[in-house]
Chains A and B, each alone.
Chain A
């Protein structure tokens, strides 16, 4: 399993269990995300605290999962991006695609709004 999940109030937190999130893991990651959404978890917070590097294939899988969630009126947000990954998100405008939270607490506050 690439994701370790737990529920925090109404939000499902899915923590990526990889240091290097790349092509070899992107399909598996997408499948796990889609399975979670199919199980009725429409609002997922993907936690990147363990991830040091993410490649474009993995980001592609993350966006695919978001599109899948949005088709079911859900959402996928991200949390705990390291500086490099955060910069990469801003550089390719993924910061306009995903809600990015500095920590889980602020994500939960936002989800309760």
Chain B
């Protein structure tokens, strides 16, 4: 939630003059100010926008500052926004009451503006540092436990070149997961999934999914079943009946590569289509899977597509973060736009390197609004 350079403040005061003066002074210092002349209006604003800080008066009609703060404390997201009381009275009893509501500070209304600005800047800086520190600690623990949602290494396969690109949302670990499972000398399995949700929650569940997927792939293979549709059916069944995971939804794409036959089998669950560039015809085809998101229904309508890619054919799997983008009119998802952008890069010798250099894709890593992942497979001569 906290962008390193974001400075959005919600000002709440029933005195419109104070609101205007404070907003003018803070805007001059580079803050983006949202103004509310009552706690009720502030609550309306908070439905759509999450500021980095709330600066609120406490003497207000209808709902006063304390009631406003108490209301925010009931909300899992809103209670964590740093909250400062702005007041004209210096009263210790009132201050104690405010602090018990976990307001982090008090600012007297007659405090010179430059002092207010430094105070806010210091506070935002401290919050940010603590936040970064927590992420570092959690990432450290995850690494120590060797929990990975993306592969450490890319396996070398006969006749197929494999690569991937992954960027997490605002550098948090997220819900996308990638795995390459080398089953034996003949078969290898490529897995791409996206647990719906963001950041830590999704990241945590992505491990549970990955464990199930790894187990399902192995169990099918032990039984001599290399069908990706069978694997998906098994995974879906387990997730559907799991009391914890059944509430969490995930997409999944599975490709089974048969190195001996030079063929692939693909199945998907609520995933975006597999992009297949046919080198011989210089044509891009969308291979659409039929399966529903994992865990929605007991029967997920899973089917599979099997085919032998020709020499130079390219296969691309993506998650939805890559098709989301933001422009002046807001956020959107546009699959066709993504295809238009990558189409000219297909069929060249170093397509994947071109992807990584492509402005649209690299820009994504800065402005993206979700996890982004791309898996790239190219059929090569043995």
B50 touches A92 (CB 8 A): no
Confirm or deny: B197 has a beta carbon within 8 angstroms of a beta carbon on chain A.
yes
Chain B residues within an 8 Å CB radius of A67? 246-247, 296
Q: B47, B76, B246, B272: which contacts A92 (Cβ < 8 A)? A: B272
Instruction: State whether A53 and B333 are in contact (beta carbons under 8 Å apart), knowing that A92-B320, A96-B301 are contacts in the complex.
Output: yes
Q: In chain A between 72 and 92, which residues have their CB closer than 8 angstroms to a CB of chain B?
A: 84-85, 87-88, 91-92
Residue of B48, B196, B272 ringed by the most chain A CB atoms within 10 A: B196
Complex alpha-carbon distance, A64 and B76, angstroms: 19
- Contact flags (1/0) for A40-65 with B, using CB distance below 8 Å? 00000000000011011101100110
Instruction: State whether A55 and B324 are in contact (beta carbons under 8 Å apart), knowing that A24-B77, A96-B292, A97-B293 are contacts in the complex.
Output: yes
Confirm or deny: A27 has a beta carbon within 8 angstroms of a beta carbon on chain B.
yes
Chain B residues within an 8 Å CB radius of A93? 270, 290-293
- Contact flags (1/0) for B218-245 with A, using CB distance below 8 Å? 0000000000000000000000000000
Confirm or deny: A36 has a beta carbon within 8 angstroms of a beta carbon on chain B.
no
| Shortest CB distance A18–B (Å) | 6
Q: Please name the 9 residue pairs, one residue from A and one from B, whose CB atoms are nearest each other, closest first.
A: A60-B196, A53-B331, A56-B196, A92-B270, A60-B249, A57-B197, A88-B333, A23-B198, A52-B330
Confirm or deny: A108 has a beta carbon within 8 angstroms of a beta carbon on chain B.
no
Main DSSP-derived SS at the A contact region: helix
| Shortest CB distance A82–B (Å) | 10
Confirm or deny: B136 has a beta carbon within 8 angstroms of a beta carbon on chain A.
no
Instruction: State whether A53 and B330 are in contact (beta carbons under 8 Å apart), knowing that A93-B292, A96-B292, A97-B296 are contacts in the complex.
Output: yes
Chain B residues within an 8 Å CB radius of A84? 332-334
Known A2-B47, A96-B301; further 4 A-B contacts with Cβ < 8 A: A24-B1, A52-B329, A59-B196, A85-B333
Complex alpha-carbon distance, A44 and B291, angstroms: 25
| Shortest CB distance A94–B (Å) | 7
Instruction: Tally B residues with Cβ within 8 Å of A.
Output: 40
Q: In chain B between 104 and 141, which residues have their CB closer than 8 angstroms to a CB of chain A?
A: none
Complex alpha-carbon distance, A97 and B314, angstroms: 31
Complex alpha-carbon distance, A69 and B324, angstroms: 29
Confirm or deny: A32 has a beta carbon within 8 angstroms of a beta carbon on chain B.
no
Confirm or deny: B335 has a beta carbon within 8 angstroms of a beta carbon on chain A.
yes
Chain B residues within an 8 Å CB radius of A52? 329-332
| Shortest CB distance B63–A (Å) | 16
Chain B residues within an 8 Å CB radius of A92? 251, 270-272, 293, 320
Complex alpha-carbon distance, A23 and B202, angstroms: 11
Confirm or deny: B192 has a beta carbon within 8 angstroms of a beta carbon on chain A.
no
Q: B77, B246, B270, B329: which contacts A94 (Cβ < 8 A)? A: B270
Complex alpha-carbon distance, A59 and B375, angstroms: 24
- Contact flags (1/0) for B243-275 with A, using CB distance below 8 Å? 000111101000000000000000000111100
Complex alpha-carbon distance, A16 and B262, angstroms: 49
